[in-house]
Chains A and B, each alone.
Chain A
Amino acid sequence: MRFRFCGDLDCPDWVLAEISTLAKISSVKMKLLCAQVLKDLLEEGIDYEKVSKLTADAKFESGDIKASVAVLSFILSSAAKHNVESESLSSELQQLGLPKEHTSGLCKSYEDKHSALQDKLREKSLRLSRLNSVSWRVDCILSSSELKEVNEPTVHLKLQAQGAESGSAETTVVSVSAEKFRVLLTELKQAQAMMNALQ
């Protein structure tokens, strides 16, 4: 059976198994649990105390709590990933056996936070080195050991990037002469024009 929220693939077996665990808690508690899981996905921090209080009535053990958080996070993040509307998500979850009230609670929370989730996922997408900051300084070389009167302007550029493979900040310092800098600026402006044309 192909499901849109799984990206037109089969639903994983563990999701099917844990949906029956989710059906054990009441639909109100399920909506609150969804809100907590959404906070975790948006990286606002999840309050495990509240989660264990919500699942305490249904007497979930720690394995069940972890499983229900995992299945909710999978459903919400993969629905946002594949850009599924909340009605089709709702019908697919009901096909999998989640009761109607639970499904409507889940889909309401999903719809509210749909665009915020997608923005967060876009931010988390793979990026190789990211440029953190640029600082520059223009100097004028007056004289050197080779020539008495130089009078040449130079630019010192400091680029701070976050390395992809190392994950830590890397600093590159370059000093560029006036002509080279003009060439660099022209090329970058051409690249910027291409980027603006795409938007």
Chain B
Amino acid sequence: MLLVLSEEYKEHLAFLPQVDPAVVFEFGRIAVEFLKRGINSKVYDGAARKLGFPITTVQHGVEGLMFLFTESSKLMITDIDFKDSVMVLGFSTELNEILLQILCFQLYVENQTTIRSTLTQLAPSLPSYHNLEWRLDVQLGSRSMRHQVVPVVTMLLNLTMGTSENRRCCLQTNPSTLLHLIAVLEAALASMKNNHARRILRNIK
């Protein structure tokens, strides 16, 4: 499947054919580093000074390459599709074109798995179970009534939301509700072993 590249994008990468393939390779490497570690704008200054291009051009070029890599990794593009998509950018001579394509493709293939793992972390995540602490208490009396015996189970549920803050949820229940809770959860676990679920899991694998 081909990448759809907009006009603005082609403009951003228009200066790439005018520089050496070595520089393009360096830009590609910088783009991959930025995808792993985050953008460091001091690198743009250095590169712009060395090449004599304005900073915005360099920035657009590197960001354009980053976009190319993330889109290709996201769609898991094959060899031929990648080359066809890049050809649209209109690199000048035949030699340049082949070199650039090979270099870009090498970078893409080497870093595909790391880029994909970074992209999976960006997906939204629901709060998920991390830890459960519990205690069993007996209420012996209160202001309104003395000489009671009321057992209470208190639970503190620790949830994580991806890499961001942890949520703590405090719950209290009496033992009969707790038994019902256990029965419902065990039924849920057992439903993973019925024929319907097994058929689906077999087909996914």
Contacts and interface: CB of A to CB of B under 8 A. Distances in A.
Interface stretch (B17-25, B73-81, B139-147): B139-147
A164 B168 contact: yes
A125 B135 CA distance: 7
Contacts of A166: 168
Contacts, number: 25
A128 B170 contact: yes
A47 interface: no
A128 B146 CA distance: 23
B15 interface: no
Contact of A126 (B143, B154, B169): B154
Contacts of A126: 133-135, 154-156
Contact of B156 (A164, A187, A194): A164
B137 to A, nearest CB: 10
Q: Nearest 8 CB-CB pairs, A to B? A: A126-B133, A126-B135, A165-B168, A164-B170, A165-B170, A126-B156, A194-B141, A187-B143
A178 B140 CA distance: 29
A38 B168 CA distance: 28
Interface string A94-138: 000000000000000000000000000000011010000000000
B170 A198 contact: no
A45 interface: no
Given A126-B155, A126-B156, A187-B143, 12 more contacts: A125-B135, A126-B133, A126-B134, A128-B154, A164-B156, A164-B168, A164-B170, A191-B141, A191-B143, A194-B140, A194-B141, A198-B140
A167 interface: yes
Q: Interface residue tally of chain B, by bracket?
A: 10 to 19
B140 A165 contact: no
Contacts of B146: 194
| Residue of A126, A165, A166, A187 with highest tally of chain B CB at under 10 A | A126
A187 B145 CA distance: 12
Given A125-B135, A126-B154, A194-B146, A167 B168 contact: yes
Nearest to B135: A126
Nearest to A127: B135
A167 B134 CA distance: 16
Interface in B118-155: 133-135, 140-141, 143, 146, 154-155
B169 A165 contact: yes
14 contacts: A125-B133, A125-B135, A126-B133, A126-B135, A126-B155, A126-B156, A128-B154, A128-B170, A165-B169, A165-B170, A167-B168, A191-B141, A194-B141, A194-B146
A194 B170 CA distance: 27
B8 to A, nearest CB: 46
Nearest to B155: A126
Contacts of B169: 165
A166 B135 CA distance: 19
A28 B135 CA distance: 38
Contacts of A128: 154, 170
